[in-house]
Amino acid sequence: MNTNTTFLDAMRSAAVTAGDARGLRFYTNPSDSVFASYASLDHQAQADAAALTAAGYAAGDVVVLAFDPGLGFIRALYAVFYAGLTAAPVPVTATRQPEVALRRLESIVADSGSRIVLTQDAALAPLGLAVGDAVGVASVMAVDSLDGRADDWTPPAIDAESLALLQYTSGSTGVPKGVMVSHGNLVANEAAITSAVGLTAASRTVGWLPHYHDMGLVGQLLQPIYVGGDSVLTSPSQFLRRPLLWLRLITEHRATHTVGPDFAYALCTRLVTDEQLAGLDLSSLEGVITGAEPVRIATLRAFAERFAPTGFRADSFIPAYGMAETTLLVTAKAAGHPVRAIPADAAGIEQGLLRAPADDARKVDLVSCGPPAEGHRIEIVDPVTGTRAADGEVGEILVSGPSITQGYWRRPGETAAVFGVIIPGDDHRYLRTGDLGTTVDGELLITGRLKDLIIIRGRNIYPQDLEQTAAPLLHAGCLSAAFEGSASHPAVGLVAEVDAARLADGDLEALAERVRRAVSEEYMLPELGVALIRKGSLPRTTSGKVQRGLTRSLLAEERLPTVLTLGFDRGAVA
């Protein structure tokens, strides 16, 4: 039984139980990798923590970690935990908009009150920063420059309530919010993941998710440390360049577990050739987690069918649900059981009711994300009245349990409103997730996001459904965003990326019309405006999710690279 109180305990335990035999391996490219054992990470962290302490950093201080993916980030995270400090990871990977990344870094440094930004090599060069520079009041320091002695390290006086992470949200508008994750939250959630997914010290995980995002940090990086198992990692950019690499690493290292969003499984299904398939062996996989975005049963079935010849088992899929405010995992399907998809009447869902579809009715398949993790509770409530929803009703998802984080950093008002919800007649305090769903046989079904909901003539329409209808008509790799209109715009708007260089003007108009007709007819919309924008320019969060509200605002302000509009007052835009 794991008796860790803090995540530092888990790191030290891994060093003792695994020593130099197991650890973390990072692939910088498909043929080159570097390895750090748990024993070596422990020894280095003691020296680095001693250096941070000697430099005057103490409990309560926030250290911003600005790294490209790799072992440098892992070393820095270890150093911060061993010094009893709080880590605030930020994305700095090269971007086409370095000024946006710089503003985000500056806002997080200012919001967190950090006096130090730890980095490595030239990670901040794309942002115009170098070691020795300052970001606000924070000094930029290279982790490689920490010069301490392990013998000088003293374990910090931290406990379960001590703050481990400031997990900054994507910040679709305004300054990102820092979610306060305690050591107790981390330990509780890693224990929940371990139990739900079936991980042990003998497990070997493979992944590529961003290290600064909750799913990549807590679920992919920290989880194997918690159980002392082997971990094989690469970067998101390596995966996006070569999706096959993910599957090859699983094959080569006989991975037992992996994790990814829905789009990653769809991308592999579409791009892996028959010849490449013949070189894969996915039979070692016991748990394949899918989350972070809507889980689509069609994606899971297509992947399972495509990779069945490699030994992949469909029941290894684990649909899961979680968010930064819950540390990570809230619910998960048990490994080794078939994924459960419940067909529902689409019109019923739009009315807030779960009911079986008639033979000739439009239906949606809702994928079960499993029961709550041990020690956690889920309630479905009316988002307006806050009272419990009746069986079969769709409402807002509320969560309570030991993984619920401490709130938003320096935002007591928002913390009280989001983290302190009380249901009449219930003594528990709940987190408002902002997500809509319902439960069947104690298992959670997600229907959509409350703030993105499109309400038309009493119908609740989910934007991801409209986007999924448009997807087959768009070029490969192009995304769309649907949103509710306004008095000066159509009832519903949809902005879609397009590779304009591949289409003549007449083809653009025809494409926009096909998209408008397909979406408006399937969902019986009174009106639909379609805007086509350049490929790769749809606003996304740092974790890759489409920002629908920001898309709507930028379109209204004419700040999107629009190549054509149809059904909006402005008409065609050159």
Q: How many CA atoms lie within 13 A of 124 on its CB side?
A: 25
CA separation for the pair 26, 33 (Å, rounded)? 5
E strand or H helix at 412: helix 412-419
With beta carbons less than 8 A apart as the criterion, state whether 207 and 229 touch. Answer: no
The domains of the chain, with CATH numbers, are 7-19+34-196+209-229 (3.40.50.12780), 341-451 (2.30.38.10), 454-566 (3.30.300.30)
Query: Residues 48, 325, 102, CA angle at the centre, nearest 5°?
Result: 60
Dig out the tokens for 202 from the structure: 């003998």
Torsion of CA 38, 44, 48, 49, to 10 degrees: 50
**Per-residue buried b or exposed e for 371-407, using 16+ beta carbons within 10 Å of the residue's own CB:** bbbeebebbbbebeebebbeeeebbbbbbbbbbbbbb
Q: What share of the chain is helix, strand, coil (3-state, %, to 5)?
A: 35, 25, 40
Strand pairing report for 134-135 and 138-142: antiparallel
CA separation for the pair 411, 393 (Å, rounded)? 32
- How many CB atoms sit inside 10 A of residue 168's CB? 27
CA separation for the pair 498, 532 (Å, rounded)? 6
| Coil, helix or strand at residue 36 | strand
Q: Output the DSSP codes for 68-123.
A: -SSHHHHHHHHHHHHTT-EEEEEE-S--S-HHHHHHHHHHHHHHHT-SEEEE-TTT
Q: pLDDT per position in the chain (574 positions), as tens? A: 567 899 999 999 999 999 999 999 999 999 999 999 999 999 999 999 999 999 999 998 999 999 999 999 999 999 999 999 999 999 887 555 677 788 889 999 999 999 999 999 889 998 999 999 999 999 999 999 999 999 999 999 999 999 999 999 864 445 689 999 999 999 999 999 999 999 999 999 999 999 998 999 999 999 999 999 999 999 999 998 999 999 999 999 999 999 998 889 999 999 999 999 999 999 999 999 998 777 889 999 999 999 999 999 999 999 999 999 999 999 999 888 899 999 999 888 888 899 998 888 788 899 999 999 999 999 999 988 889 998 889 999 999 999 999 999 999 999 999 999 999 888 889 999 999 999 999 999 999 888 887 877 667 787 888 888 898 999 877 899 998 876 556 778 999 999 888 887 778 889 999 999 999 888 778 789 999 999 988 988 766 778 888 888 888 878 899 988 888 864 333 2
| Coil, helix or strand at residue 169 | coil
